[in-house]
Chain A
Amino acid sequence: MEKQITRFASWLKKQNAAFFFSILFILFSLYFLITSFDYPYHTKFGIGPGFFPRWVSILAFITGVIYSLTSVIREKFSFEDAFPGAKGIGNVLLVVASIVLFTVIAPYTGFVIAGSLMLFSIFIKQYTLSKSIIYATLITVICFLIFKKAFSVPLPINAWGF
């Protein structure tokens, strides 16, 4: 299994990232194109809500196809060149995961606990355990006080009011 993952990773590194992105873009524009047929092109009052999306998505689709061709011919970006190494990607994924964690738990735990956990998960790789806890809690509490108290933003809170 580990061997297969390593083989997949080394295969992916050499692939053309721009081409993969162009395929995603084509699918994105195709969704809009197909869905645009759900809205009338004409209505009895004139041009309908389907007119603009249909033309925009057709042009987007064409642009996507041209981009995919140019990405193969002259605008190659291999994953290896475009993206950082495993450590860098790990840091990026950590931030993404911590935001997901925050978004999921904040409505239940309240802002302060969710925010502290999110920052702690980022700080722990850079600071000691005690510093990570202190920094994460302190920054979250300061933000909470500024936004909740000073700007009256209705932040998610728990039963204890934070």
Chain B
Amino acid sequence: MIESLGSLMQGLAVAISPMNILYCFIGCAVGMLVGVLPGIGPTEATALLIPLTYGMSPVSAIIMLCGIYYGGMYGGTITSVLINTPGEAASVVTCLDGYPLAKQGRAGVALKVAAYGSFVGGILSIFGLVLLAPPLADWALKFGPSEMFALLVFGMCMVVGLMGKSLIRGLVSIFIGLLLALVGMDTVSGAVRFTLGSNQLVGGLSIVTICMGLFGLSEILVGMENLSQTNKVSSVASSKLRKGEWGPTIGSIIRGSFLGFFMGLIPGTSSAIPALISYSMEKRLSKHPEKFGTGIPEGVAGPETANNSYVGGAMIPLFTLGIPCSPTIAILMGAFMLHGLTPGPTLFIENPIVVWGTIASMFVGNVILLIMNVPLANVWAKVAQIPNKMLYPVVLIVAILGAYTVSNSMFEVGIMLVCGVIGYLLKKLDIPMAPIALVFVLSEMMERSILQSIKINKGLSGLYNSPICMTLLILSVIILIASLFAEYSNKKSRFLTSDDE
């Protein structure tokens, strides 16, 4: 504990260097921007900015990219409250009470409550990250290849179990990711596989290009179907919380913080899920559940806090196990790898500066976002008024540039186009895309761990002789069966289908 706080202080020294504060600010500003703009989310923005970080130090690059992630969570709130249009999936629930508050002339209350809740949730979850990550990483160091393989299978089952309405469609998505990851040089044997004779595919497909196509370009294609959308903005009238509103609001912020943090630990969830659960939990705990949906501050505070505290929780599996919980985290993992870092338990030992610098920067980022949020809400709302017919072409050319910069080649633009068309088809057929990104980055680790396990144990005995493996594999089966059962009982919420953050 004291050791962790000491490391955090060292990280803080890195995070508050002028350059890193600047990068953190850029990341937060971009995050806010993409959170505000309905056509683009943190996933696409993170993928887009990765190529621009090649020249940066690893810690600065990761600080900036993380800023986009949690900045996006703050930004989505503003459009939910002011124009009843969530900038990203996690803010869908905020519309339910945020917009009615705005219509009552209390938009300022909704934004303030959301901003303070987001701040508290963000800070508490970072403390959770500081306290939980090091011991978990120590424990994960004891994992052998068999345990790692079982953990990856478990993660994939969680992803397929929680995302999408249909198990079979989730599995289709998983296998698209696994098959795409096979392209290129096998890191275990060095064999070049499935390249269709193309030298440009020897290095494999890039997670950045794939995500840019699947999430970015497909969103542009869907958006281009209907370009006539216009948004009407409510003004941010300054107002304060009324007497009697403080207590329930503070309570919902505290509950939302814990809920979001623990939901973040579960692979396959998205920030929309804790927001939704928080809203229904607050409604159930409230003395006036009938007022929910008519514009009450705790209806905004709980979900907004939960989706921000989710971010800190979601970083734990990445830092300690090398497992991404969401598409944006998968791209962040790609960024780690591009900068020569391997996310996982050894990261704390080999690159403590990067880990603790990044964690500390999240404190700085939350403060920056708090400053940028409420006072500048009207400015961000104006940004959200950019018409789609202008927005999508601009995002398109930036996405093309982002794909091009991956290897400075038009080949990547072509790959992005193919992935974009695939993503468009998947969206239309309601096949979740997030598993593709998550599985794509895990596939190499999965192959390596199963090969090593077979080699060490001269067969698959490593999987059923280890209690950890058996537990994880049994849990995986239970998750799949439960998911199948839930599917047939039609009990899944539509919010669980989201591919967005």
Contact = CB atoms under 8 A, between A and B. Distances in A.
Given A35-B194, A60-B179, A66-B168, A88 B225 contact: yes
Interface in A36-54: 39, 43, 46-49, 51-53
A25 interface: yes
B454 A49 contact: no
Contacts of B182: 32, 52-53, 56
Given A52-B451, A82-B428, A84-B226, A32 B191 contact: no
Interface string B415-456: 001001100110011110000000000000001001100110
B449 to A, nearest CB: 11
B114 to A, nearest CB: 32
A75 B226 contact: no
Given A21-B425, A52-B450, A100-B417, A67 B169 contact: yes
Given A140-B397, A153-B401, A49 B193 contact: yes
A28 B420 CA distance: 17
Interface in B49-89: 51-52, 55
B447 to A, nearest CB: 4
B455 A99 contact: no
Contact of B189 (A43, A60, A135, A153): A43
Interface string A17-37: 110011001001100100100
Interface in B388-414: 389-390, 392-394, 396-398, 400-401, 404-405, 408, 410, 413-414
Contact of A147 (B393, B394, B401, B447): B401
B445 to A, nearest CB: 12
Interface residues of B, number: 55
A133 interface: no
A82 B137 CA distance: 45
B229 to A, nearest CB: 12
Contacts, number: 149
B380 to A, nearest CB: 21
Contact of B191 (A39, A56, A91): A39
A66 B394 CA distance: 40
Interface string A81-107: 011100011011011100110110011
Contacts of A140: 397
Interface in A111-150: 115, 118-119, 122-123, 126-127, 135, 139-140, 143, 147
Contacts of A25: 172, 175-176
B49 to A, nearest CB: 10
A154 B408 contact: yes
B416 to A, nearest CB: 8
A70 B168 contact: yes
Contacts of A63: 168, 171-172, 175
- Scoring B193, B421, B424 by chain A CB atoms within 10 A of each residue's CB, the highest score goes to B193
**Chain A contact residues, majority secondary structure:** helix
Nearest to A89: B225
B179 A29 contact: yes
A107 B410 contact: yes
A95 B396 contact: yes
B376 interface: no
B405 A126 contact: no
Contacts of B420: 96
Contact of B429 (A18, A84, A152): A18
A12 interface: no
Interface in B185-239: 186, 188-189, 191, 193-194, 220-221, 224-227
Contacts of A151: 52, 55, 405
B178 interface: yes
B446 to A, nearest CB: 8
A103 B172 CA distance: 30
B257 interface: no
B320 interface: no
A126 B394 CA distance: 14
B497 interface: no
Contacts of B408: 153-154
A92 B429 contact: no
Interface of B: 51-52, 55, 166, 168-169, 171-172, 175-176, 178-179, 182, 186, 188-189, 191, 193-194, 220-221, 224-227, 389-390, 392-394, 396-398, 400-401, 404-405, 408, 410, 413-414, 417, 420-421, 424-425, 428-431, 447, 450-451, 454-455
21 contacts: A28-B176, A29-B175, A47-B455, A52-B182, A67-B172, A70-B168, A84-B225, A92-B221, A95-B224, A95-B396, A103-B417, A106-B410, A119-B396, A122-B393, A139-B397, A143-B398, A147-B401, A147-B405, A152-B55, A153-B401, A156-B410
Closest 4 CB pairs of A and B: A88-B225, A49-B191, A60-B175, A126-B389
